[in-house]
Amino acid sequence: MSKVMIAPSVLSANFAKMGEEIADLERCGADMIHCDVMDGVYVPNITFGIKMVADIKPITKLPLDVHLMIVEPEKYVERFIDAGADIVSFHPEASKDAHLTVRKIKDKGAKAAIALNPDIPVSVAKEYIEEVDMILLMSVFPGFGGQKFIESVLDKTIEIKALIGNRNIELEIDGGINTSNVGEVIKRGINIVVAGNTVFKAPDRKKIIADLRK
């Protein structure tokens, strides 16, 4: 698989300074921008929506990795892509028709991913394996940044890697990543690493992004 990419989550950014935060992430070597969209229904927290993605798009050349933690994502995926989402992840159990949701994302020309919560078995991903471009492995229960990494999630990687086989499917991990656990994550063949708190709390963002990639 390709090199490891670091996707800082702007959930941990100062929303009142979003433009500066994005420019800083780009300057510090981020590979993509992870945008956590929460609706207060699928998860017990609310963040931002389509307009934030649209406002971020013109100020960065980095791909926008939009993680939808919302119910009925099928109603909104096309508008997120029009706003500038390059990758759209959603949670299949939140969708009335997850296959349709994947198709809508792909028909609009974006990459589609399904997100697997820590308690969702790999067998769920099997159903979508011929359709998706990426699998997002949640290593915390979605809703908040700064949670503790759930180590047992790594046990799923063997099964997921076997399922992916030779297919051109990226594997992303999200939640509680830091410099102590990222090595194990990368060893498991995960090639996109989301990091919120670790990047935003670091005194030197350029260094932490480089360290996470090691």
Q: Which residues are catalytic?
A: 36, 174
Half-sphere exposure of 174 (CA within 13 A, CB side): 33
Print the binding letters for residues 50-89 with Zn ion: x by CB under 5 A, - otherwise: -----------------x----------------------
Q: Across the strands, what pairs with 113?
A: 89, 134
Q: Looking at beta carbons only, is 53 or 162 nearer to Zn ion?
A: 53
Which residue ranges make up the site for ligand DX5 (CB under 6 A)?
9, 11-12, 34, 36, 67, 140, 142-147, 174-177, 194-198
Q: Looking at beta carbons only, is 11 or 25 nearer to ligand DX5?
A: 11
Print the binding letters for residues 22-51 with Zn ion: x by CB under 5 A, - otherwise: --------------x---------------
The string of DSSP codes covering 14-63 is -GGGHHHHHHHHHHTT-S-EEEEEEBSSSSS-B---HHHHHHHGGG--SP
Report the alpha-carbon distance of residue 144 to residue 43 in Å, rounded.
9
Report the alpha-carbon distance of residue 125 to residue 108 in Å, rounded.
22
Taking Cα atoms as reference points, which of 122, 162, 115 lies closest to residue 136? Answer: 115
Nearest distance in Å: CB 187, ligand DX5: 19
Q: Which does 145 bind (CB under 5 to 8 A by kind): Zn ion, ligand DX5, none?
A: ligand DX5
Q: Looking at beta carbons only, is 94 or 177 nearer to ligand DX5?
A: 177
Applying CB under 5 A, the span of 13-21, 38-46, 167-175, 205-213 interacting with Zn ion comes to 167-175
Q: Check if the beta carbon of residue 36 is closer than 8 Å to that of residue 53.
A: no
Which residues of the shown chain bind Zn ion in the complex (CB under 5 A)?
36, 67, 174
